[in-house]
Structure 1
Amino acid sequence: MKIARLGAQGAEIPAVLATDSTGAERVYDARPVTADITGDFLAGDGLAQLAAAVERGELPELPGARNLRVGSPIVRPNNVICIGMNYAAHAAESGALPPTIPVVFLKPNNTVAGPNDAAPIPPLAAKYDWEVELAVVIGREVSYLSSVSEAAAAVAGYVIANDLSEREYQIPGAAGQWTKGKSLPKSTPLGPWLVPASEIDTNNLRLRSWVNGEPRQDSSTADLIFDVPTIIHHLSQYMVLEPGDVVLTGTPEGVALSGRFPYIQNGDVVEIEIDGLGRQRQEFFRATTTTQEV
């Protein structure tokens, strides 16, 4: 079962992708069960309710679903929490040693976009970069977990994220700040689907990215320094994780920051993929500055 939100921005329809008795994949309208895919819905065992409704044949097919825009598979989360340099090879290409404790930063929740939405390059950006990442969707409130073994119960499911980053804003010089480099409009495409945690083994998922069809990243979650339960447990010691929050777990080597590839340019197409979680595709364009009348 895969959960999606389909339709124009701000008017997305919750949907379920599931196979029927013949093995064909169908797209079902989830609105008989929920108006949208929210944190409250996930916390109320919503994914199990959707699975049961599909099993009982209670959801109608969604007409024209294949022609609808694909939105983020969850409503805008309260928090987007990110783990930096969580693959040793990426830390090395960034000029850093592998961390001994998770590196944590936040992204504004208004950076979330659909997986195939056109993506703006900031007007003054010179070093805009891609990052394929496994993202965790939190399914219940957690705080001060006592052990790593408790963390798995907090996960509702998994999605793909592209943690788009402006390296000139993020790293060098007196003004280099991770928040500035990670907060740009539509810089966190999510989806296309939310897959329930019970259906995904995160121990060895292949992650890949391409720019204009040329391979960039090709790695596995087996190379994570800190795995998902460790990350969730660690975060719970410092913040309350709420249902619907999204945690990005880091990106492997193969980004433009390595110096091996050019940064994203106007007209480039970036594609990212994770086994079992689908594929994203963004066409990039140079955003322009706006002049406000006074």
Structure 2
Amino acid sequence: MPAVVQEGTTYDLRGLTGDIDGAFLAGDGVARVRRALDAGELPVLPDADALRVGAPVARPAAVVCVGMNYAAHAAESGAAPPTRPVVFFKPSNTIAGPYDAAPIPPASEKYDWEVELGIVIGRESSYLSSVEEGAAAIAGYVLANDLSEREYQIPGDAGQWTKGKSLPASTPLGPWLVPADGIDAGNLRLQSWVNGEIRQDSKTSDLIFDCATVVHHISQYMVLEPGDVILTGTPEGVALSGRFPYIQPGDVVELEIAGLGRQRQEYFRKELP
């Protein structure tokens, strides 16, 4: 069910919308929620703390990703920093809630975490004429984990980004969607931990291509629709670097972006039927 959190209280949005989706965002949904909050028209959601937290955006038409968008991560991946955005897709059926139990694929040996800032699109965008138009197309931001199976993604003739990035529940989102005007997306701290040990600790100010530039660039090649999600890339500190082991059954991965909340996933080995 859709909800909004204000000053620690969770309010029920079902009187305004059936879900937080593209139609809601394109239909001035954020402004309508703000007006309802100011007018005291939204009921408190009972027992909110006992409910599962799902992804804060209902299944988007597209999950578009930008690779190697931090110079240090490109270096630890063995690549030079890109001179233009590297773009790929994840299926939208990979989206999971921020606290859901996380399956490691049955044959996986190199499952990797990636804390990322996610952009949520608020209006249809195609062939945008400027970076400023790119910024105006952003409805808000989310915390994301772009889980990646590196053995599928990279080596040999069979290595393909799509294979390594399309696994079930490999895109936990949330817990919150924060409106674009409520946060400085260009200066946010991103962190990840595995079993309580810090792995990544960077800032979005280190992005090679900032959020508005990313939206403008991608709009030259595809139509972005309201509710679509763009993952902007991960900073250094992943297992691919060779400095840390890959995710194992029983591991707990936590991720946080300042102002966007914190995720926690416990990992288990998915068994074949």
Aligned CA RMSD, in angstroms, stands at 0.5
Shift of 1:89: 0.1
- SS of the aligned residue for 2:89 comes to strand
Q: Distance in 1 between matches of 2:269 and 2:248?
A: 8
Equivalent position to 1:182, from 165, 168, 177: 165
TM value normalised by structure 1: 0.92
What does the per-residue CA deviation read over 1:183-206, in whole Å, with 9 as the maximum and x for residues that have no partner?
000000000000000001011100
Q: Which moved more, 1:65-74 or 1:252-261?
A: 65-74
Instruction: Return 5+ residue gaps in structure 1 as ranges.
Output: 1-12, 20-24
Equivalent position to 1:267, from 250, 262, 270: 250
Equivalent residue for 1:59? 42
Equivalent residue for 2:146? 163
What does 1:103-118 correspond to in 2, within 5 Å? 103-118=86-101
What does 1:91-102 correspond to in 2, within 5 Å? 91-102=74-85
Equivalent residue for 1:10? none
Equivalent position to 2:226, from 243, 251, 259: 243
Equivalent position to 2:69, from 61, 69, 86: 86
TM value normalised by structure 2: 0.99
Equivalent position to 2:156, from 173, 178, 183: 173
Shift of 1:71: 0.3
Specify the code of the residue in structure 2 equivalent to 1:14: P
1:44 aligns with 2:27: yes
Equivalent residue for 1:223? 206
Q: Distance in 2 between matches of 1:139 and 1:274?
A: 21
Q: Across the two proteins, how many residue pairs are aligned to each other?
A: 273
Shift of 1:36: 0.9
Q: Distance in 2 between matches of 1:85 and 1:165?
A: 13
- SS of the aligned residue for 2:2 comes to strand
What does the per-residue CA deviation read over 1:226-269, in whole Å, with 9 as the maximum and x for residues that have no partner?
00010000000000000000000000000000000000000000
Q: Distance in 1 between matches of 2:88 and 2:144?
A: 15
Q: Distance in 2 between matches of 1:73 and 1:257?
A: 29
Specify the code of the residue in structure 2 equivalent to 1:284: Y
1:126 aligns with 2:112: no
Equivalent residue for 1:143? 126
